[in-house]
Amino acid sequence: MQEDNKILKINNIEVKYHEVILVIKGVSIEVPEGGIVALLGANGAGKSTTLKAISGLLKHEDGHVTDGSIEFMGQRIDRMPPEKIAKLAKQADDKRLALQKQAANKAAGILDNCQRAMHPYLKRKGFEEEPGNVYVKETRGYLIIPMRIGSQLVGAQVISEDGEKKFLYGQRTKGAEFVFDNKGPHILTEGYATALSVRAAMKALKMRYTIHVCFSAQNLLHVSQGLADCFIVADNDESQTGERMAKKSGKPFWMPPTVGQDFNDMHQAVGLFKASQELGKALRSTSRTS
């Protein structure tokens, strides 16, 4: 993964018309690749001016970026003509699509060369007997979790023996998921190990399930919006990101009571019986109030 995934950076810009009329000052915005950023403000606050500054259209109204900078894909564009900015955007989109195709093909090739085997990461997560897709490279085994949008393979999460997690370079991640489909209600989790613990709990409760591994809290929010009914098992992380995204989804959710734990942590700490009973109570509470 790229360390800096910001596709657009507006750095403290100032815009003047006719060289004297100050319209906006100190505006900074960062747009992550694949993300959406809303620009809000009252009439006359400078929303349209900011967009014209990005697209290079200020000069048609005798406007100029007089301070700060605007960068797109690492290139400064606040002094470029609009036709060059449009060409740059087209090139960036073509490159993005090409990288996505390469990543999908790479994922397919890796999966073709995997073997079903045990993996140290799964052992540490309490699933010593759980086989996974293991890809061996230079004597090290990597756990491969396929990521799909619908039925289309778009990439994979690669987990090392040490538990380091990466995605394939250039792949699509927004909307991508791995699904355990047992023809039951939709349950969303961030991580694969959490999903394994949820699956074990649902089996203990003798309940059907369709568990969606979403790989991040932000993507969990996105996936949840495409489901009419679902239940979220959120991570209780110290940053409160899991809880915040779960609340933002508007869907019913539950998370372990201990800060710093996800459901897999809770499963290992208290055992399957107690963990499954707590999850079952949360699910039954949701069904009574819906």
Task: Give the model confidence (pLDDT) of 202-247 as tens digits.
Answer: 999 999 999 999 999 999 999 999 999 999 999 999 999 999 999 9
**Other CB atoms closer than 10 Å to residue 35's CB: what's the count?**
13
- Which distant-in-sequence residues (6+ apart) come within 8 Å of 109 by Cβ? none
**Other CB atoms closer than 10 Å to residue 87's CB: what's the count?**
12
**Other CB atoms closer than 10 Å to residue 160's CB: what's the count?**
15
Mean pLDDT to the nearest integer, 181-207? 98
As a whole number of angstroms, the distance between CA 148 and CA 175 comes to 8
Same fold, 6-80 and 177-290: yes
Backbone angles phi, psi at 143, to 5 degrees: -80, 125
pLDDT tens column, 82-91: 999 999 999 9
Sign, CA torsion 233/214/127/167: negative
Q: Which residues pair with 155 in a beta bridge?
A: 147
As a whole number of angstroms, the distance between CA 245 and CA 183 comes to 26
Locate 239 and state its tokens. Answer: 């940053």
Locate 261 and state its tokens. Answer: 């734990």
Into which CATH architecture does domain 6-80 fall?
3-Layer(aba) Sandwich (3.40)
CA 194 distance to own-chain centroid: 16
CATH number of 177-290: 3.40.50
Mean pLDDT to the nearest integer, 66-74? 94
As a whole number of angstroms, the distance between CA 283 and CA 158 comes to 31
pLDDT tens column, 28-66: 999 987 677 889 889 999 999 999 999 999 999 999 999
Instruction: Tell me the CA distances in angstroms from 36 to 16, 32, 202, 289, one per residue in order.
Output: 27, 8, 35, 33
Pairing of strands 115-117, 132-137: antiparallel
Locate 169 and state its tokens. Answer: 């370079």
Full-model pTM: 0.81
**How much of the chain, in percent, has pLDDT values that exceed 70?**
97
Q: Return the residue matching tokens 């009439």.
A: 43
**pLDDT confidence of 290, banded at 50, 70, 90?**
low
Backbone angles phi, psi at 94, to 5 degrees: -60, -40
Domain ranges of the chain: 6-80, 177-290
